[in-house]
Amino acid sequence: MTRTLTRSYENYSDAETAVTRLEAAGVSSDDISIIGYNTADVADDTAVGAEAGGVVGGSAGLLAGLAALPIPGVGPVLAAGRIFGTLAVGATAGAAAGSLIGAMAGAGFSDEEANYLAETIRRGGAAVSVRASDSHVAAVEKIMDGAGPINAESRRAEYRREGWTGFDEQAGPYAQASWSELS
């Protein structure tokens, strides 16, 4: 049986570290998904993907296949992998990029988890999801946890103290950091 393990990170760089370590440990790129906030005006998806892909030594890893997508309520993000691929499909079909919550719901995330992850991404964070067999769950969790993920329960409580009740697609980007600050 397989499970999907997900961690959120403060910034894209930490999420990228998790992906790089997962691939180095032998986790297939096909089993990893990443999405992260990018406020920079990304004009050339290929250049961004190649730049990020350089982190894995120019290999054909997941980071080399990043796509820059405008996500309603978030702004420009970099995304790759099975889970967030539905966002890219909508964008390349000529339609506005799909709903982040919809993509997460379609991937099996609970409503609460999807809202939390979408809000974290909106606020400048990133998320990594990995499909792992039961026998590999502990090793994958150790790698993901080693990259410094956010404590999701504490962060949800912090958001709620601020008055947050759920992801608002109409709210627009929260953080205004530049791409260089996030990577």
Q: CB under 8 Å, gap of 24 or more: what pairs does 95-100 form?
A: 96/70, 96/72, 97/69, 97/70, 97/71, 97/72, 99/72, 99/169, 100/35, 100/71, 100/72, 100/73, 100/74, 100/167, 100/169
Report the run of H or E that residue 59 belongs to, with start and end.
Answer: none
**Cα(179)–Cα(91) distance, rounded to whole angstroms?**
21
CA-based R_g, the chain, Å: 15
Could you tell me the pTM of the whole model? 0.78
Tens of pLDDT, residue by residue over 24-62, are: 999 999 999 999 876 543 434 434 444 443 343 334 577
Tens of pLDDT, residue by residue over 124-181, are: 899 999 999 999 999 999 999 999 999 999 999 999 999 999 998 887 777 444 434 4
